[in-house]
């Protein structure tokens, strides 16, 4: 078994672990700081909406030796100062898009580009997108996002409980805010591909969170019948049990997205990949972070306010204090779980099946040991037992 696999097994069994839940105030403060930075960047710089949302014109030229920067400058000059974005295509042509450009203003730009490239104006493909169509696309995108959020909350409330649904919703809003804030700070264009990337990362973030919640639900069954662990401690054990899995899935998902963003969009200059790859990269990283540092600690916070969990925490602290007092009076170190004084029902719900199997094996081994060590039966005298020794020493065969 590899070192990472061995570490994952030890984390699952609770032999090692990091107390994420106990340090939740640190993660809350860090998340609030990142979220505030994203909101400030969004309010100051705003989002650079593509023509699919704001309307405008897209010019596609044939193969040319003119650089993208020169074509952009010429297009902005012909469009009376409108901001243009120029990208080099794989066939050697150019794709130039200008937002907030109507039909009348697009014709001079097309003619100026044709003159700059030395081609006929008809060879430059021009596509116009009206602002009303862009507003309709934005409206549909927001509706899809709202429906997605509503379905997520309903599903989690039915499959788990309302506290987990609320924590997952807060984690999703956290991921959305960070991703949108990074888009504003970087200045990338927001296109329909960006919306697709946002919906994709929300689904991935939800998947990672549900994995942790499912383990927590199984571990917390019958929790109030024992006095060894509080709900926060069980939540932390469940989180550590799925930690390696979360890290592995996140790294594997980030590798191809990083290749699209840094190699395809940055090194090779395929700028059209930036819109979806940036949303995926930032969203995947934020989703993995929120499922570990936000969602599970929030569930523990909400659950610890339940009266039953408060009573359980009180019993756990009282039992540990009593064990420490007995150990101090006897001059010995207090046992970690005070196993000698446990009630019959005082067992860890996660390890109940394992402990029962160990008891059965021990009982079976004890029976075998007793049989193996049982002293041999002494040979009793046969003088006073007529018939007991009858026939012994007599040769086989029929009596004559």
Domain of 259, CATH number, reads 1.20.1640.10
What DSSP assignment string belongs to 122-188? GGSEEEEE-HHHHHHHHHHHHHHHHHHHHHHHHHHHHHT-HHHHHHHHHHHHHHHHHHHHHHHHHTP
- Count Cβ atoms within 10 A of the Cβ of residue 103 and give its class: 0-12 exposed, 13-18 middle, 19 or more buried: exposed
Check whether residue 121 and residue 15 sit in a common domain.
no
Asked, for residue 257, whether it belongs to a domain, the answer is yes
Check whether residue 11 and residue 148 sit in a common domain.
yes
Query: Which candidate, 31, 17, 39, places its Cα nearest to that of 294?
Result: 31
Asked, for residue 315, whether it belongs to a domain, the answer is no
Q: CA angle, 184 as apex, 180 and 188 as ends, to 5°?
A: 100
Check whether residue 110 and residue 148 sit in a common domain.
no
Residue 25: what pLDDT?
A: 92
User: Strand pairing partners for 61?
Assistant: none
Residue 227: what pLDDT?
A: 85
Check whether residue 182 and residue 229 sit in a common domain.
yes
Host H or E run for residue 7? helix 3-13
How far is it, in rounded angstroms, from Cα 364 to Cα 283?
A: 54
Strand duo 56-60 + 125-129: pairing: antiparallel
- Count Cβ atoms within 10 A of the Cβ of residue 242 and give its class: 0-12 exposed, 13-18 middle, 19 or more buried: buried
Check whether residue 171 and residue 116 sit in a common domain.
no
Residue 32: what pLDDT?
A: 93
**Ramachandran angles phi, psi of 269, nearest 5°:** 80, 15
Largest distance between two CA atoms of the chain: 137
Q: C-alpha dihedral over 263, 266, 267, 270, to 10 degrees? A: 90
How many structural domains is the chain composed of?
A: 2
Query: Which candidate, 204, 193, 91, 199, places its Cα nearest to that of 143?
Result: 199
Q: CA angle, 141 as apex, 137 and 145 as ends, to 5°?
A: 170
CB 287, CB 198: distance < 8 Å: no
- Three-state DSSP at 57 gives strand
Residue 271: what pLDDT?
A: 57
Check whether residue 121 and residue 186 sit in a common domain.
no
Specify the CATH number for the domain of residue 122: 3.30.70.3400
Residue 88: what pLDDT?
A: 74
Residue 145: what pLDDT?
A: 79
Range of the domain at 86: 56-129
Please give the chain's pLDDT, 400 residues, in tens: 556 556 556 655 656 667 888 888 999 999 999 999 999 988 888 887 777 777 778 888 887 777 778 888 877 777 777 777 777 776 677 888 877 777 777 778 878 878 877 777 778 887 777 766 667 777 787 787 788 888 888 888 888 888 988 998 898 889 889 988 888 888 777 877 787 888 787 777 788 788 888 888 888 888 888 888 889 888 888 888 888 788 888 888 888 888 888 776 656 655 567 778 888 888 888 888 888 899 889 999 999 988 988 898 899 889 888 888 888 888 765 555 444 444 434 444 444 444 444 454 444 444 334 444 444 444 444 444 444 444 444 444 444 4
Asked, for residue 337, whether it belongs to a domain, the answer is no
CB 277, CB 265: distance < 8 Å: yes
Check whether residue 118 and residue 236 sit in a common domain.
no
**Ramachandran angles phi, psi of 127, nearest 5°:** -120, 130
First to last CA, the chain: 75
Q: CA angle, 167 as apex, 162 and 168 as ends, to 5°?
A: 95
Asked, for residue 29, whether it belongs to a domain, the answer is yes
Domain termination residue (choose one: 305, 321, 342) = 305
Check whether residue 138 and residue 29 sit in a common domain.
yes
Asked, for residue 27, whether it belongs to a domain, the answer is yes
């Amino acid at each position: 078994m590899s070192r990472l696999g061995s570490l994952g097994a030890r984390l699952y069994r609770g032999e090692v672990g990091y107390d994420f839940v106990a340090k939740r105030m640190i993660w809350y403060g860090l998340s609030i700081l990142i979220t505030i930075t994203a909101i400030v960047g969004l309010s100051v710089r705003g989002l650079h909406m593509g023509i699919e949302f704001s309307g405008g014109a897209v010019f596609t030229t044939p193969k040319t030796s003119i650089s993208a920067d020169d074509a952009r400058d010429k297009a902005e000059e012909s469009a009376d100062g409108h901001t243009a974005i120029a990208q080099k295509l794989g066939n050697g042509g150019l794709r130039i898009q200008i937002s907030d450009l109507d039909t009348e203003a697009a014709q001079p730009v097309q003619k100026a580009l044709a003159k700059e490239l030395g081609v006929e104006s008809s060879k430059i493909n021009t596509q116009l997108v009206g602002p009303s169509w862009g507003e309709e696309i934005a409206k549909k995108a927001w509706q899809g996002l709202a429906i997605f959020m509503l379905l997520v909350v309903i599903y989690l409330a039915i499959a788990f409980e309302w506290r987990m649904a609320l924590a997952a919703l807060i984690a999703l809003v956290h991921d959305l805010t960070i991703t949108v804030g990074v888009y504003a700070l970087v200045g990338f264009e927001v296109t329909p591909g960006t919306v697709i990337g946002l919906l994709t990362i929300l689904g991935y973030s939800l998947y990672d969170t549900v994995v942790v919640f499912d383990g927590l639900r199984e571990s917390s069954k019958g929790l109030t019948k024992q006095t060894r662990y509080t709900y926060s401690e069980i939540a932390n054990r469940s989180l550590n049990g799925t930690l390696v899995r979360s890290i592995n899935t996140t790294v594997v998902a980030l590798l191809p997205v990083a290749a699209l963003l840094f190699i395809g969009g940055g090194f090779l200059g395929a700028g059209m990949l930036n819109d979806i790859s940036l949303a995926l990269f930032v969203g995947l990283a934020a989703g993995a972070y929120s499922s570990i540092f936000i969602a599970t600690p929030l569930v523990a916070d909400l659950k610890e306010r339940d009266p039953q969990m408060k009573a359980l925490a009180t019993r756990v602290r009282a039992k540990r204090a009593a064990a420490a007092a007995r150990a101090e009076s006897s001059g010995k170190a207090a046992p970690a779980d005070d196993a000698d004084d446990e009630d019959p029902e005082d067992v860890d719900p996660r390890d109940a099946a394992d402990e029962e199997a160990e008891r059965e094996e021990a009982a079976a081994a004890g029976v075998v040991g007793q049989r193996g060590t049982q002293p041999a039966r002494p040979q009793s005298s046969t003088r006073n037992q007529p018939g007991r020794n009858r026939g012994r020493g007599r040769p086989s065969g029929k009596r004559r």
